[in-house]
């Protein structure tokens, strides 16, 4: 049997309006993502990648079409229901890390769950375990300015995984990092994808990072121009089908 889909995008379009000007940045986008895979969204600057990621994560509303995440039409939900879904099912990693400067590494990782009123000790333990996993056990009391870019992104990853999200959206997660540091973050992303079964959806202009994903969706001027599943993934799927 084929993996079930965790995210479906149907006839999605997005037009931004400013004054009497309109800019259509996504045009009739359709795809669906299987649970547990890694998928890269690639394309030139301005092709609509970040806009698409934001719509998929419920950060913005489409002009038309639907986004269905885990059987819920998130494009039709009101903000209060959406924020619950974001807290429980979605993780987000940003190019610019977006840590809170006045909080330590540990406190930053705890933010998404602390806000939901779970026991402090329980969350603290989870956060320390995750910081350990990303190699920052000895940096828990450091503030973001006391951490390198790579370390800040590790904190960002730990924060995104604190509530074991079903889907992790990452927007250019290695875009601000040098080659080696970026590779370490990539390795961690794929390790967490494997260990936790979290579906990864990564916007990147880095072809090498994209080539490590199971699937690559390529955008140009707001349309999908290619959608490729890696031969390994296809083989595994066929083998799994045959084994049923
Ligand atoms: P990419 O991530 O591929 O570089 P984006 O999704 O960031 O592309 O942007 C696609 C286009 O949409 C760009 O021309 C950008 O200027 C425009 N755009 C993005 N967000 C907004 C917005 N909030 N208002 C108006 N135009 C926007």
Looking at ligand 1, which residue's alpha carbon is closest to its atom 16? Answer: 46
DSSP-based three-state secondary structure for 29? strand
pLDDT at position 244, please? 52
Q: Is the CB of 17 under 6 A from ligand 1?
A: no
pLDDT at position 243, please? 54
Task: List the CATH number of the domain containing 95.
Answer: 3.40.50.300
Residue ranges of the chain with pLDDT lower than 50? 1, 235, 238-239, 242
- For 237, counting Cβ atoms within 10 Å of its Cβ (0-12 exposed, 13-18 middle, 19+ buried), the class is middle
From ligand 1's centre to the CA of 146, what distance in Å?
32
pLDDT at position 79, please? 87
Looking at ligand 1, which residue's alpha carbon is closest to its atom 21? Answer: 16
From ligand 1's centre to the CA of 1, what distance in Å?
38
What is the ipTM for the molecules in this complex?
Answer: 0.98
Residue 82: count other Cβ atoms within 10 Å of its Cβ: 19
8 A C-beta contact, residue 6 and residue 199: yes
Could you give the number of structural domains in the chain?
1
Q: Is the CB of 22 under 6 A from ligand 1?
A: no
Q: Domain range for residue 87?
A: 5-243
8 A C-beta contact, residue 160 and residue 192: no
8 A C-beta contact, residue 92 and residue 159: no
8 A C-beta contact, residue 196 and residue 134: no
Residue 109 to residue 193: CA distance in whole angstroms: 18
Q: Is the CB of 45 under 6 A from ligand 1?
A: yes
């Amino acid at each position: 049997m084929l993996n079930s889909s965790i995210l479906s995008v149907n006839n999605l379009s997005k037009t931004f309006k400013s004054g009497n000007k309109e800019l259509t940045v996504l045009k009739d986008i359709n795809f669906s993502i299987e649970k547990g895979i890694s998928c890269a969204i690639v394309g030139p600057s301005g092709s609509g990648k970040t806009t698409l990621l934001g719509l998929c994560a419920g950060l913005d509303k489409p002009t038309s079409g639907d986004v269905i995440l885990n059987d819920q039409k998130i494009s039709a939900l009101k903000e209060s229901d959406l924020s619950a879904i974001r807290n429980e099912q979605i993780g987000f990693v940003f190019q610019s890390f977006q840590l809170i400067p006045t909080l330590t590494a540990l406190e930053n990782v705890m933010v998404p769950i602390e806000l939901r009123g779970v026991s402090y000790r329980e969350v603290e333990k989870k956060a320390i375990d995750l910081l350990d996993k990303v190699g920052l056990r000895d940096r828990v009391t450091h503030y973001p300015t006391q951490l390198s870019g790579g370390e800040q992104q590790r904190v960002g990853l730990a924060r995104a995984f604190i509530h074991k999200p079903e889907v992790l959206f990452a927007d250019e997660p290695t875009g601000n990092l040098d080659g080696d540091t970026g590779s370490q973050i990539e390795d961690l992303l794929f390790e967490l994808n494997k260990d936790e079964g979290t579906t990864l959806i990564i916007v990147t202009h880095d072809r090498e990072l994209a080539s490590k994903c199971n699937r690559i969706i390529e955008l140009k001027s707001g349309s999908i121009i290619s959608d490729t599943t890696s031969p390994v993934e296809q083989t595994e799927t066929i083998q799994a089908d045959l084994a049923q």
